[in-house]
C-alpha cells in the first residue's frame, strides 16, 4: 500500500511521509491507495484484546511501512490509563432503545479528539525518524475548540516539536477557552483570531502551502506539519474505535456476529464519520452512516441535493465544535466515490475555493445517498433532546452528542429502521456545562464556569473529570487576539525567524 493525494493520483508516498507532511504540496489530502480488509475472524480475535492491541491490528493494515514494534510502541504509549480515565479507552454504554452510545471522551481533554491526538505525536515522531528527518517540526492547528486543547496536550514538551493553536475569539465555550489559555509546556503557543473557525482553518492552510514560508522554515532547520484532521495520522486512529466498538458489541452479545449496525456521528469537518466509512468498507458490518449537523447544515444539504454551497450565514451554536461551513475531509470521501478521479476533485475544490460552491454528478449523489443519511437540528432541539434523553434513560449527554441523538431519532421516525445504532459521543457534558444545564433546568446561568460544573455534577451525578477540575487553579498564559492577516507574522515571530 502507498499513499496518494486527492488532487494528484500519481503521487506515491509512504504512510510515514504522508503523516510527516500532513497535507500534500498541491493542496490535496493524502489517502491510502486501497482500503484494507478486516475479516469476521479477525474481528472475533479483536474482541479478546485490549484497546491498544486492537489498534495494533488496524494500524498494521494502514501503516504498512511501520514495523509491528513501531506501531506497538505508539499504541501502548497513547492508549494507557495514565492518559485515559478508563481501561476500555472508548466506553460503550448499554442500549437505550435501539441505540448504544460510544463515549469517546475519556482522554485528558474530555473530547473525542484525544482518541487521535494522544497517538499522533507518537506516529509523527516515529514517521520523522523513519524518514531520516532531523528538522524541528512546527505544528499549526486551527481549532473550533476541542482539537486545539487535545493537540496541545498531545504535543506539549515532545522533543523536536513546537505547536501553535489558533481559535475563533468568540467561537469556543468558556471551558474550552480556559483549557487553552492555561496550557502548560515549553513548546506551545495559543492565539485567538478575530474571525470564525473557517478563517482559522484557511489561514493555517495558506501558511502551510506558501512556498516562501516553507523555504524560510527550511533555512532555519524547521518544517511544518499538521495536527488537524486533514492529517492521515488523525484519521487512522479514528477508524480503530469503530472496528473496536463492533467487536465489543458482539462480544457482549448486544448484537450477533455479522449483524449489521448503523452509526450516527455528530459531524463538522467530516473526519469522524469518514473513519466510520473506512471501517464499513474494510468489512465491518455497518449499514447507514447517519451524518448529524447543527444549524450549520451545509452537509445535510449536500447529502440531500448533491450541491455543496458554503455561501450562507454562519451560526454560532451551542455545539461549537461543529460550527463549520467547509468540511475538509469530504474531499477524501469524494475521491473514493469517484474511484480516484483527481481531475474531478481539482475541479470541484477549485470551484469551492473560487465560488464557494460545487455540484456533484447524479451518479455520485446516488452513491452518497446509498451509504449516508443526513439531518440537522437547531439549538432548541439540541437542548430538548438532552432533557428528554435524560428524563427517559437517566443519561446526560453533551450538546454535540445530542445533535447526533436527535438526528438519529428523526431518521428512525422517518424510515422505521430498527437497526442497532452506535451513536458517537464526542465530548463530556462538562465541557459545555452552561448549555447542558440550560437544557436540563431551563435557566441561562451566568455563574462562573466552576459553579456551573459543580451544579452539573449535582444534577447529572457524573463525576467531574479531574483534568477539568484542575484548571481552576492554573494561571492564564495566553490571551493574545490577532487579525487574520497577521497570522503569518505571528507564526514567524513565535519561531524567532522574523
Ligand atoms: C471535532 C468535534 C466534532 C466534529 O468532528 P469531525 O471529525 O470534525 O466531523 C464533533 N463533536 C465534538 C465535541 C468535536 O470536538
pLDDT per residue as tens digits for the range 47-95: 999 999 999 999 999 999 999 999 999 999 999 999 999 999 999 999 9
Residue 189 confidence (pLDDT)? 97
Q: 1-498 in CATH: which number? A: 3.40.50.1100
C-alpha cell at 142: 486551527
Residue 205 confidence (pLDDT)? 85
Residue 445 confidence (pLDDT)? 66
Residue 178 confidence (pLDDT)? 92
Q: How far is the CA of 386 from the centre of ligand 1 (A)?
A: 18
Lowest mean pLDDT among 36-40, 124-128, 229-233, 273-277: 229-233
Q: For the chain, which residues make up each domain, given as ranges?
A: 1-498
Can you tell me the mean pLDDT for 289-317? 97
Q: How do residues 422-474 score in pLDDT, each as one tens digit?
A: 999 999 999 999 999 999 998 776 778 888 999 999 999 999 998 888 888 99
Task: Compute the distance between CA of residue 104 and CA of residue 295 in angstroms, rounded to an integer.
Answer: 23
Can you tell me the mean pLDDT for 190-209? 91
**CA dist 4 → 18, 122, 336 (Å):** 9, 22, 12
What percentage of the chain has pLDDT greater than the value 70? Answer: 100
Residue 312 has a CB neighbour count (10 Å cut-off) of 12
Q: Which helix (H) or strand (E) holds 292?
A: strand 286-293
3-state secondary structure of 112: coil
Residue among 44, 61, 82, 113 flagged as catalytic: 113
271 lines ligand 1 (CB under 6 A): yes
pLDDT at 487 over 70: yes
Mutate to test the pocket of ligand 1, among 106, 242, 269 (most ligand atoms within 8 A of CB): 269
Residue 208 confidence (pLDDT)? 85
Mutate to test the pocket of ligand 1, among 322, 386, 403 (most ligand atoms within 8 A of CB): 322
Question: What's the mean pLDDT when you consider all of the chain?
Answer: 95
What percentage of the chain has pLDDT greater than the value 90? Answer: 88
pLDDT at 198 over 90: no
The partner residues of 194 in beta bridges, in order of sequence, read 483
Name the closest-CA residue to atom 8, ligand 1.
269
17 lines ligand 1 (CB under 6 A): no
| Residue 414 or residue 321, greater confidence | 414
Can you tell me the mean pLDDT for 100-107? 98
Q: What are phi and psi of 167, to 5 degrees?
A: -130, 155
Residue 358 confidence (pLDDT)? 98
For the chain, the C-alpha Rg in angstroms (whole number) is: 21
Q: What are phi and psi of 12, to 5 degrees?
A: -145, 95
3-state secondary structure of 4: strand
Which span out of 204-213, 227-236, 297-306, 460-469 was modeled with the highest average pLDDT?
297-306
Mutate to test the pocket of ligand 1, among 103, 171, 268, 291 (most ligand atoms within 8 A of CB): 268
228 lines ligand 1 (CB under 6 A): no
pLDDT at 385 over 90: yes
Residue 258: Cβ-neighbour burial (10 angstroms; 0-12, 13-18, 19+): exposed
Q: How far is the CA of 107 from the centre of ligand 1 (A)?
A: 15
**CA dist 71 → 50, 78, 413 (Å):** 15, 11, 43
Closest ligand 1 atom to residue 269 Cα is 8
Q: How far is the CA of 266 from the centre of ligand 1 (A)?
A: 7
426 lines ligand 1 (CB under 6 A): yes
- The yes-or-no answer on residue 113 being catalytic is yes
pLDDT at 242 over 90: yes
Closest ligand 1 atom to residue 105 Cα is 13
Pairing status of strand 136-142 against strand 99-103:
unpaired
321 lines ligand 1 (CB under 6 A): yes
* Closest CA relative to residue 285, chosen from 266, 264, 263, 258: 258
Amino acid at each position: 500500500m502507498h499513499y496518494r493525494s486527492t488532487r494528484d493520483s500519481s503521487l506515491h508516498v509512504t504512510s510515514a511521509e504522508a503523516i510527516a507532511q500532513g497535507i500534500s504540496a498541491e493542496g490535496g489530502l493524502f489517502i491510502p491507495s486501497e482500503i484494507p480488509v478486516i475479516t469476521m475472524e479477525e474481528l472475533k480475535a479483536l474482541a479478546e484484546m485490549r484497546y491498544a492491541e486492537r489498534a495494533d491490528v488496524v494500524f498494521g493494515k494502514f501503516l504498512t511501512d511501520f514495523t509491528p514494534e513501531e506501531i506497538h510502541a505508539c499504541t501502548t504509549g497513547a492508549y494507557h490509563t495514565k492518559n485515559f480515565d478508563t481501561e476500555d479507552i472508548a466506553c460503550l454504554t448499554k442500549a437505550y432503545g435501539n441505540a448504544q452510545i460510544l463515549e469517546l471522551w475519556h482522554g485528558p481533554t474530555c473530547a473525542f479528539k484525544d482518541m487521535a491526538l494522544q497517538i499522533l505525536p507518537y506516529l509523527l515522531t516515529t514517521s520523522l525518524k523513519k524518514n531520516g528527518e532531523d528538522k524541528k517540526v512546527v505544528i499549526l492547528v486551527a481549532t473550533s475548540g476541542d482539537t486545539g486543547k487535545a493537540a496541545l496536550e498531545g504535543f506539549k514538551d515532545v522533543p523536536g516539536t513546537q505547536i501553535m493553536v489558533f481559535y475563533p475569539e468568540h467561537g469556543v465555550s468558556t471551558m474550552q477557552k480556559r483549557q487553552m489559555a492555561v496550557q502548560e509546556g515549553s513548546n506551545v503557543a495559543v492565539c485567538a483570531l478575530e474571525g470564525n473557525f473557517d478563517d482559522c482553518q484557511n489561514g493555517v492552510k495558506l501558511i502551510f502551502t506558501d512556498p516562501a514560508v516553507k523555504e524560510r522554515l527550511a533555512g532555519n532547520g524547521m518544517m511544518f506539519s499538521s495536527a488537524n484532521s486533514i492529517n492521515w495520522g488523525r484519521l487512522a486512529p479514528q477508524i480503530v474505535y469503530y472496528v473496536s466498538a463492533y467487536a465489543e458489541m458482539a462480544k457482549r452479545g448486544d448484537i450477533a456476529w455479522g449483524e449489521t449496525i448503523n452509526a450516527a456521528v455528530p459531524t463538522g469537518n467530516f473526519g469522524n464519520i469518514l473513519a466510520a466509512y473506512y471501517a464499513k468498507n474494510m468489512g465491518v458490518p455497518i449499514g447507514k452512516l447517519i451524518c448529524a449537523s447543527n444549524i450549520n447544515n451545509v452537509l445535510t444539504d449536500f447529502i440531500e441535493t448533491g450541491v455543496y454551497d458554503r455561501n450562507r450565514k454562519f451560526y454560532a451554536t451551542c455545539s461549537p465544535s461543529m460550527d463549520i461551513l467547509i468540511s475538509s475531509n469530504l474531499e477524501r470521501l469524494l475521491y473514493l466515490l469517484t474511484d480516484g478521479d483527481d481531475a474531478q476533485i481539482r475541479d470541484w475544490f477549485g470551484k469551492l475555493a473560487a465560488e464557494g460552491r460545487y455540484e456533484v454528478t447524479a451518479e455520485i449523489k446516488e452513491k452518497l445517498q446509498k451509504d449516508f443519511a443526513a439531518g440537522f437540528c437547531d439549538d432548541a432541539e439540541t437542548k430538548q433532546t438532552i432533557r428528554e434523553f435524560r428524563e427517559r434513560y437517566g443519561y446526560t449527554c453533551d450538546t454535540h452528542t445530542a445533535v447526533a441523538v436527535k438526528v438519529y431519532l428523526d431518521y428512525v421516525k422517518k424510515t422505521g429502521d430498527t437497526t442497532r445504532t452506535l451513536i458517537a459521543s464526542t465530548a463530556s457534558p462538562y465541557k459545555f456545562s452552561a448549555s447542558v444545564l440550560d437544557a436540563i433546568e431551563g435557566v441561562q446561568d451566568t455563574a462562573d464556569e466552576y459553579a456551573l460544573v459543580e451544579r452539573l455534577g449535582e444534577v447529572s451525578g457524573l463525576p467531574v473529570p479531574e483534568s477539568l477540575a484542575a484548571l481552576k487553579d492554573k494561571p492564564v498564559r495566553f490571551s493574545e487576539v490577532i487579525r487574520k492577516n497577521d497570522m503569518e507574522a505571528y507564526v514567524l515571530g513565535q519561531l524567532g525567524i522574523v
